[in-house]
Amino acid sequence: MASKPFNGLPSLSKFLSESSSRPWWEKFLFPRRFERRIAARLLRVFEIGFYRNFTAYELARDLGMDSIDGQCAIDEAVRYLLLKGKIEQPYPGKFCLHDYRRITGVVDLSQPDKPSLISGNYKLPVYILPERLFGASHGDTVNVKIRRRAQRFLEAEVVSVIKFAQRRLVGNLEVLEHRAYFTPINRELFRTVVIPPGCIKNAEDGDRVVVELRPHGHGHETIAAKVIKILGEADTEYVETQTLLQRNNFPTDFSPEEEEAAAAIRFDITPADISTRLDLRGIPTFTIDPDGTKDVDDALSIQALPNGNWAIGVHIADVTHYIKPGSILDKRAYQYTTSIYLPDRVLPLFPDTVTHGCSLFAGEDKLAFSVLFEIDNEAKVIRRKIAKTVICSQRQFTYGEAQQLMDGASGEFDGELRTLYTLSQQLRKARHADGAITFSDRPELYFEFDEMGKVISVKPHKRLESMKLIEEFMLLANRNVAEIAARKRMPFIFRTHGLPNKRMFDELRRVAMNYGHTLRGASIPNSTTSRTIAKSISNFMSQLEGEQEEMLFVNLSIRSMACGKYSPVPRRHFALSFDHYTHFTSPIRRYMDMVVHRLLTNAFIDRSARTNIFNYETACQHFNFMREKAKALEDCMERQKAAEYLSDKVGQEFEGTITHVSPTTLSVTLSDTGIRGRVMLKSLLDDCYELNTDQYIIQGKTTGDFYRIGHRVTVRVAHVDSGRAIVDFVITGRKLSKRAAKQDKLYTIDW
């Protein structure tokens, strides 16, 4: 039975009766004229309900035209209005009034501080105000409304989300009598998420769950979803850890299909494999890796040449020999891009079968992709060559074992290690002379866990010289591979690093001048070269080594630096001071390195080889986004585990050093564990403190007392929220007395 006409608009019968004065044959001989008259009435419905999305049936029902003839007439009128651009189709099967200020596109958060919209509707770039994203995330298809039109760009705000790029969300469940509601963690949605009774599984009120948004369950004010995984009771340590993993959409295991595909790979080396490769199994070769590592990507070989030079090989696991483009494992590796190293686990890029089969373990013949160098005693490269090889590592060193041999202990390959160390020092010296920037080594945190997964100890570990040895030869290989690719002008993926942020760099120069230092020639006009700026910063940091304000300028310099990016365009790497650079040396844990291997194979070894990436610009954007996402997860998990360690130590006191200052907080790093926490300025009750941006100190208005980066303090653990990875300290004492503080070099400067 037809419903009541919408807003007093005439029904079909009334509409036809009103048209009775016109010739009866008009409808049949001039159907387009009749269609336009219905379209005009239909447009009035859209104008009255401009905020609504209508289906064709709803339009027919509201006009009282839900008979077969009426629905056919409505369909034709809707098609006519679409062609004329009067209405649009935001969802499949739903229509709304066209608003010329609204654009449909995909959210791009590859630059988080400058969200943009990918859309073909406008030639000008469309930027979304960060505070107007309203919960939309990277990859979501959205409707935006233009708020302001500038000369070179458009400024918009998100109106609605059409399609979620991430349909699975993590949050808390609230179960009522007839339905359940879901509240996501760290994400706002436009509508309330409702879970029907049959989709709750066994979840209870207050549980932390993973839900999947149903694509056809969107109403005007609600979104339907179903529970797909129950994590457990909220606010427990285990559940908070699982929440981080699920929220970032990184899987904790492999699917049965992926495990089956990995098990089907044969890692036996056949005579046919050896016949097409350079056989280097007789050359002294070894690996140096962290204790307990499972993915051994790289190995080094060294051999003395008759002319007094050295033949050095950097051998990298040939993963692309086993993982074919377009395979299920290749698609998964492209999707997640990188392995993730967390304090209590590793989320590998490939199943253990592939990781073990490709790793360069000692005593096993392995296929490798090698960069071979002839280097003289001054570490200058005489010749270089890229080749597919077969190698056999004779020894697998840990960093500690290699360090002992480098320090003078006797053992296997002790002479080779010392020679490599001498050459690596010369390589590092040449890099620094060319402008490479090296900051003070920040100790890494090493966590120890008990059988239940609880943190029992945290210790800072500084980088050993054996780590720097490996780093130098990996840099050498990456640099030379990129130079060869750039010279050949082949399709390639480079690792680039841009100039510092001008505003932050000017702030660094200004603060340096207030401390009596000068960054010579270090401004960033268009005429200044990247190498000149890099040399200026490098010399400045070397002059500050051991000074009290070194940590301050390390922090300011890092803040001014741009982020490293993958790009198909060969640009200079600013921090390393290399004209060309890439990532070639870690294919077991980075998919980007696999792409580089395939491109090199296609260019130099086997032209029939191919990759499954054709749009390198899109691929690089994906790699950059996923790498930043993985790094953020690693940092967040480290802070969370550090907070868990201090959760039962509230009220205890520790020695620490101030490592950062901001307008509202001080950051203090504990000396014995390396854990970092915050001190709220409002907790400093002896005076009213504020940030002095000329000297980057926290200074009291009344007493003139101050806190600065590098000051040693005693702090008490006041509050710990392990779920949110927050540690609050309260300063209870200072190593520097007030009298000594007044004699401080900083305090005597007239600002």
List pLDDT tens digits, range 603-630.
888 776 666 666 888 899 899 989 998 9
**% residues pLDDT > 90 (the chain):** 32
- Tell me the one-letter amino acid at 501: N
What angle (nearest 5°) sits at the alpha carbon of residue 308, between those of residues 306 and 313?
A: 85
Whether 157 and 144 have beta carbons less than 8 Å apart is answered as yes
Whether 721 and 651 have beta carbons less than 8 Å apart is answered as no
pLDDT of residue 218: 53
Taking alpha carbons only, the member of 71, 76, 48, 95 closest to residue 2 is 71
Dihedral sign from CA coordinates of 198, 204, 205, 209: negative
152-166, 434-448, 631-645, 732-746: which range is least confident on average?
A: 732-746
CA atoms within 13 A on the CB side of 150: 8
**Between the ranges 223-232, 472-481, 551-560, where is the mean pLDDT highest?**
472-481
pLDDT confidence bin for 122, thresholds 50/70/90: low
Q: How far apart are CA 710 and CA 59, in angstroms?
A: 70
pLDDT of residue 735: 66
pLDDT of residue 455: 87
Mean pLDDT in residue range 628-647: 89
pLDDT of residue 14: 47
Q: How far apart are CA 334 and CA 350, in angstroms?
A: 11
Whether 240 and 256 have beta carbons less than 8 Å apart is answered as no
Q: How far apart are CA 318 and CA 341, in angstroms?
A: 22
pLDDT of residue 739: 36
What angle (nearest 5°) sits at the alpha carbon of residue 494, between those of residues 489 and 499?
A: 115
pLDDT confidence bin for 198, thresholds 50/70/90: confident
Q: How far apart are CA 733 and CA 723, in angstroms?
A: 29
Kindly tell me if the per-residue pLDDT of 20 is higher than 90. no
Q: How far apart are CA 619 and CA 621, in angstroms?
A: 5
Q: Hunting for tokens 């859309």 — which residue is that?
A: 119
Q: How far apart are the first and last CA of the chain?
A: 84
| Strand ranges (E), 337-402 | 340-341, 346-347, 365-375, 381-392, 395-398
List pLDDT tens digits, range 388-443.
999 999 999 999 999 999 998 888 899 999 999 999 999 999 998 888 888 766 67
Instruction: Provide CB contacts within 8 A for 105, sequence distance 6+.
Output: 117, 118, 119, 121, 126, 141, 142, 144
Mean pLDDT in residue range 248-269: 89
List pLDDT tens digits, range 339-377.
999 888 889 999 999 999 999 999 999 999 999 999 999
DSSP three-state, residue 694: coil
Going along the chain from its start, the domains and CATH numbers come out as 6-97 (1.10.10), 102-163 (2.40.50.140), 168-256 (2.40.50.700), 265-424+459-484+584-628 (no CATH), 647-742 (2.40.50.140)
**% residues pLDDT > 70 (the chain):** 86
Kindly tell me if the per-residue pLDDT of 544 is higher than 90. no
pLDDT of residue 428: 93
Tokens of 297: 């990507």
DSSP three-state, residue 32: helix
Mean pLDDT in residue range 68-83: 80
Cα dihedral 447, 462, 375, 541 in deg (nearest 10): 130
Q: Which residue has the higher pLDDT, 537 or 469?
A: 469
Tell me the pTM: 0.75
Q: How far apart are CA 68 and CA 480, in angstroms?
A: 72
SS (H, E, C) 648-673: CCCCCEEEEEEEEECCCEEEEEECCC
Kindly tell me if the per-residue pLDDT of 91 is higher than 80. no
Q: How far apart are CA 140 and CA 137, in angstroms?
A: 6
Kindly tell me if the per-residue pLDDT of 30 is higher than 50. no
Whether 723 and 715 have beta carbons less than 8 Å apart is answered as no
Taking alpha carbons only, the member of 294, 364, 357, 293 closest to residue 323 is 357
pLDDT of residue 738: 41
Kindly tell me if the per-residue pLDDT of 6 is higher than 50. no
pLDDT of residue 5: 39
Q: Which residue has the higher pLDDT, 485 or 48?
A: 485
pLDDT confidence bin for 736, thresholds 50/70/90: low
pLDDT of residue 112: 65
Q: Please provide the average confidence, as pLDDT, over all residues in the chain.
A: 82
pLDDT of residue 214: 73
Whether 442 and 425 have beta carbons less than 8 Å apart is answered as no
pLDDT of residue 371: 95
Kindly tell me if the per-residue pLDDT of 32 is higher than 70. no
pLDDT of residue 718: 93
pLDDT confidence bin for 751, thresholds 50/70/90: very low
Taking alpha carbons only, the member of 617, 620, 618, 597 closest to residue 609 is 597
**Cα-based distances in Å from 325 to 263, 322, 598:** 17, 10, 9
